[in-house]
Structure 1
Amino acid sequence: MSDNFFTKKATFFDRWAPNYDILLTTIFYQAIHKRLLEYVKLPNCPDVLDLGCGTGRLLHRLATLNRDLRGIGLDLSPEMIRQARQRNHLRKQLIYIRGNAESLPFAARQFDAVFNTISFLHYPNPQQVLSEVKRVLKQGGRFYLADTSIKIQYIPFSPGGLRLYSPQKREQLALEVGLKTVAHHLLLSGVWLTIFEA
Structure 2
Amino acid sequence: MSDNFFERKANFFDRWAPNYDILFTTVFYQAIHKRMLEYVELRSAANVLDLGCGTGRLLHRLATQFPHLRGTGLDLSKEMLRQARQRNQYPKRLIYIQGNAESLPFAQGQFDAVFNTISFLHYPNPTQVLSEVKRVLNQGGRFYLADYSTTRKVKLPFVPGQLKFYPLQQREYLADQVGLKTLAHHYLLSNVFLTILRA
> After TM superposition, is the score higher than 0.5?
yes
1:155 matches 2:162: no
Query: TM-score, with normalisation over the residues of structure 2?
Result: 0.98
The aligned residue for residue 14 of structure 1 is 14
Q: Tell me the alpha carbon deviations over residues 143-186 of structure 1, each in whole angstroms, 9 at most, x when there is no partner.
A: 0000011231x211211120000111000000000000000000
Letter in 1 for 2:155: P
Q: What pairs up with 1:44-83 in 2 under 5 angstroms?
A: 44-83=44-83
Letter in 1 for 2:186: H
Question: What value does the CA root-mean-square deviation take over the aligned residues?
Answer: 0.7
Q: Distance in 2 between matches of 1:132 and 1:110?
A: 12
Q: Is the 8 A contact 2:183 2:196 kept in 1?
A: yes
Q: Is the 8 A contact 2:44 2:67 kept in 1?
A: no
Letter in 1 for 2:29: Y
The aligned residue for residue 171 of structure 1 is 172
Q: Distance in 1 between matches of 2:169 and 2:101?
A: 22
Give SS of 1:145's match.
strand
Gap runs ≥5 in structure 2: none
Q: State the shift of 1:43 in Å.
A: 1.3
Q: Distance in 1 between matches of 2:126 and 2:62?
A: 25
The aligned residue for residue 121 of structure 1 is 121
The aligned residue for residue 139 of structure 2 is 139
Q: Tell me the alpha carbon deviations over residues 33-63 of structure 1, each in whole angstroms, 9 at most, x when there is no partner.
A: 0100000000131000000000000000000
Q: Distance in 2 between matches of 1:196 and 1:131?
A: 12
Q: Is the 8 A contact 2:32 2:188 kept in 1?
A: yes
Give SS of 1:104's match.
coil
Q: Tell me the alpha carbon deviations over residues 65-101 of structure 1, each in whole angstroms, 9 at most, x when there is no partner.
A: 1110000000000100011001001101100000000
Percent identity for Structure 1 against Structure 2: 74
Letter in 1 for 2:81: I
Query: TM-score, with normalisation over the residues of structure 1?
Result: 0.98
Letter in 2 for 1:173: L
Q: State the shift of 1:23 in Å.
A: 4.4
Count of residues in correspondence between the two structures: 197
Q: Tell me the alpha carbon deviations over residues 89-142 of structure 1, each in whole angstroms, 9 at most, x when there is no partner.
A: 110110000000000000000000000000000000000000000000000000
The aligned residue for residue 189 of structure 1 is 190
Letter in 2 for 1:141: G
Q: Distance in 2 between matches of 1:96 and 1:49?
A: 10
The aligned residue for residue 39 of structure 1 is 39
The aligned residue for residue 108 of structure 1 is 108
Question: After TM superposition, where is structure 1 displaced by more than 6 Å over at least 4 residues in a row?
Answer: none
Gap runs ≥5 in structure 1: none
Q: Is the 8 A contact 2:102 2:128 kept in 1?
A: yes
Give SS of 2:100's match.
coil
